[in-house]
Structure 1
Amino acid sequence: MTGSEEPPKSFRLAYVPGVTPAKWVKVWNERLPDVPLTLVQAAAAEVPGLLRAGEADVGLVRLPVDRTYFSAIPLYTETTVVIVPKDHLVTAVDEVTLADLGDEVLFHPLDDVFDWDGPPGEPAFERPATTPDAVELVAANVGLLVVPQSLARLYHRRDLTYRPVVDAPRSSVALSWPEEATTDLVEDFIGIVRGRTVNSTRGRTPAKAGAGQQGKPPEQGGARQKKPAGTKAGGSKAAGAKAAGAKGTGGKAAGRGGGGRAGSGGGKPAKRGKPRRSS
């Protein structure tokens, strides 16, 4: 590499625990092999700060975000579950409600992704610092923990299981970035997340097939949009009659005036000789 050449740009993707960006990273590496993509995993509360500080270009975050500063494209909403020991009574049913957990000790860790108005269940003696810490306490049969399903899978243990909580808040995952920092590479990643093909126009939804014909000026598309009057059934005969009438005083008059001699070599002589034989 010479001194005048610049090293390839890099692209940094921050993501929260529970999110798996592997499928999008794979597509990025196929389409932009010269632009390295760096993954930055951080706690849900930390990712907005990384984006503001310019330490990441985009982030896979948990909503809500500050929409006065960030753009966000919602991707999916997760099922909420309660993590319990495998021998807990909750495992006897397929799903539960918050009311079913009313008498249980429920942990509310400091990094809880839910914005509870009032945490359900009996409060724990102390709030765990992190979700993994709370999972350890559940394994010790101290209480239960309500989390998005992806976190229950991420921190899975053989002695624990989970059940859906049908009326609990849900966590939505979104692609987010500072609105004022919408670069070409950001647009490229948006296209990948949205499933656009490599030939799609960057930053815009691909046009529907055939949509371009609607905007053609009359001289380009008019011949296809408007059919000539003679294309209808019988139209060609009518047009031929009009054309014949325009050649003189009319089709019948033209025949009487001897026009047939020019059209068919003088007509049929036998018809003209019959009156002379009768006299």
Structure 2
Amino acid sequence: MSERVLRVGYVPGVTPDKWARAWRERRDGVLLELVLVEEADAEQAVRDKRIDMALARLPVDRTGLHLVRLYDELPVVVVNREHPAAAYDEIELADLADEQFITGIPEGLIPRANQLTFPPMSAKEAVEVAAAGTGIAVLPMSVARLHHRKDVTHRPVRGPAPTTIALIWLTDRDDATTQAFVGVTRGRTPRSSRG
């Protein structure tokens, strides 16, 4: 008889290693398969049942989904190493109002500069554009670290709301295996009760 598999997707920047280790220690005959999914595809991959669950970045459409918030990610600004923001340990969002935003204007900021129109691009591409000095990108810190280059730096930025990582799965897939993985992400031990 083949071993059952729980397929859990995760978006770039999320590091599911600690949960995978905890799962392997108590898996009860179910193999955990981790699948990297693009951020824009995580919700649909769950809905299409290509994966059983996903560690996704919010927001997602919660219709038909269970969702457990896991943690918030610190927003950072990614700039060329020569950019004035590189001199600070941390920067206020309002201090970036004269900049060109590659990844879209953060909510709550009224830019003073006429904004260039950048095509939709991946985080990696946005970091490449920031490296060229054409603009700046506001990204979750984990994503900025993932795409780090020698010619860019990132600094925490005060003002934008943090992004949230959550575990999502279909409401009709709420079995013991699913709940066991939810327990792992919530830090429950094999002996602790659900809740």
Q: Do these two structures clear the TM 0.5 threshold for a shared fold by scoring above it?
A: yes
Asked if 1:179 corresponds to 2:171, the answer is: yes
- 1:68-118 per-residue CA deviation (whole Å, 9 max, x = no partner) reads 311111111111110011121112222222221111111027xxxx98477
The whole-number CA distance in structure 1 between the counterparts of 2:65 and 2:116 is 35
Which of 140, 148, 153 matches 1:156?
148
Q: Paired residue for 1:29?
A: 24
Preserved contact between residue 14 and residue 40 of structure 1 (Cα < 8 Å): yes
Percent identical across equivalent pairs?
A: 39
How many residues in Structure 1 have an aligned counterpart in Structure 2?
A: 194
Which of 78, 82, 101 matches 1:83?
78
Q: Spell out the pairing of 1:75-114 with structure 2 (5 A cutoff).
A: 75-108=70-103
Greater relative CO (CA pairs within 8 A, separation 6+): 2
- 1:30-58 per-residue CA deviation (whole Å, 9 max, x = no partner) reads 11163221111111120111111111111
The whole-number CA distance in structure 2 between the counterparts of 1:108 and 1:96 is 17
* Greater helix share, structure number: 1
Secondary structure of the 1:142 match is coil
Two-structure CA RMSD over aligned residues (Å): 2.0
Do the aligned partners of residues 145 and 46 (structure 1) sit closer, same or farther apart at CA in structure 2, a change above 3 Å counting? same
Secondary structure of the 1:123 match is coil
Normalising by structure 2, we get a TM-score of: 0.91
The whole-number CA distance in structure 2 between the counterparts of 1:189 and 1:71 is 13
Q: Letter of the aligned partner of 1:150 in structure 2?
A: S
Secondary structure of the 2:172 match is helix
Which of 42, 49, 58 matches 1:54?
49
Preserved contact between residue 131 and residue 152 of structure 2 (Cα < 8 Å): yes
Do the aligned partners of residues 49 and 117 (structure 1) sit closer, same or farther apart at CA in structure 2, a change above 3 Å counting? farther
Unaligned runs of 5+ in 2: none
Structure 1 or 2, whichever has the larger Rg, is 1
- 1:195-220 per-residue CA deviation (whole Å, 9 max, x = no partner) reads 1111223xx22xxxxxxxxxxxxxxx
Which of 62, 72, 79 matches 1:67?
62
The whole-number CA distance in structure 1 between the counterparts of 2:180 and 2:13 is 24
Asked if 1:132 corresponds to 2:124, the answer is: yes
